[in-house]
Structure 1
Amino acid sequence: MTEHLSNAQIAWRAAQDIEDGAYVNLGIGFPELVAKFQAPGREAVYHTENGLLGFGAAPPAGEEDWDLINAGKKAVTQKPGASFFHHADSFAMVRGGHLDVAILGAYQVAQNGDLANWRVGSRSVPAVGGAMDLVHGAKRVAVVTQHVTKDGQPKLVERCSFPLTGVGCITRIYSSLAVVDILDGRFVLREKLPTITMEELQALTGAPLHTDGAVADLDVPAL
């Protein structure tokens, strides 16, 4: 059986690419883990669609203030300098191009950068929410995801078969097997787990993987 990174390890790898001082929005669920793994010496400023800039880690169990939540309705804490504002102003930040990075989950990502992350058949999150704004408002949009579905189907595909969240919006994918960039309508492999061969990785990917120079080992800590 092919070894896969855990969600925490994928989130750790994504966090290493966030620049110091970046304004960042994290999607609901799995992407929220990214906030736990800031690189040493760097500090990102996290933004939520419901009107909070500069939130910190989740509080200890039993110490939650349920007036202080993120867009996923999870309790958070404030960092020094945190600010609150109407959600309309929060979306103005997104739509005005003031976010450096958005990191979202995915059901499918196409080789041209299309993203489907809110509906699979009759199953969906409650609504697409702010994702459609984020994928076209943030300066850089990345995905964290398992490389395949629970039944082994590729999540990196030639063309999305699920309803789209955004068109041509994703530039990098952090998966459980690899780090893949999207360039000129192609998947370009940057890093892969050293325990998987190129042939094995390609068999689990629904579109051709290209290389542009050396492919580095995907090296993450045990978390």
Structure 2
Amino acid sequence: MNFGVLVFPGSNCDIDCYKAVEETVGQKVEYVWHTETDLSRFDCILVPGGFSYGDYLRCGAIARFAPVMGALVKFAEQGKFVLGICNGFQILTESGLLPGALLRNRTLKFRCHSAMLRVENAGTPFTNQYREGEEIDIPIAHGEGNYYCDAETLEKLKANNQIVFRYAGSNPNGSVDDIAGICNERGNVLGMMPHPERAVNQLLGSEDGKRMFTSILNKWREQHGAAAIR
């Protein structure tokens, strides 16, 4: 399986994502510069956190126009896997790959700490190694993680089981319905504010993020007739 990690000017979690793939699934992974226009060699693209283009206009708003994003839209339309984390989630909403928007945290403060999430949908390519209702420890680090959508969109997300993660207990940013992560209707594009790549080893405080990467590999193996991960 081939993983690609997008790199924009200002990305700062690209190395974390690269290392997480190496440590958790040991598959091929490479950095993909924002000027790339061909993603056909990849099976999964990670859109990492950071401050793409300095977030000078609005989080993800400039990155949305990078040449690689046209290729990413086509990549997603082919049913391949896209995981956007933190700023990556913001970029996916700005590009229309996911509905809604990420606003300033309700407290107007940057929040960086451990957070408990509840797995609401364990049937996606990103969560098949978790149990529905399971609570996992995944850290957050954001100032604009307040997920917002209108009432009609929220009802649609619920009806289609597109809410993949909710904050369990304390909501750190004021996001609507405690949403921490959502997927598209097809289920192959996931955006989330917490950082699973920072939770792949107990030395980091949690290894609950590890199963997200093994889930992706598991689904890919299933699609290609290979042995599933147990």
TM exceeding 0.5: no
Indicate the structure with greater strand content.
Answer: 1
**Structure of greater Rg:** 1
Query: Per the shorter chain, which TM-score range?
Result: 0.3 to 0.5
TM-score, length basis structure 1: 0.38
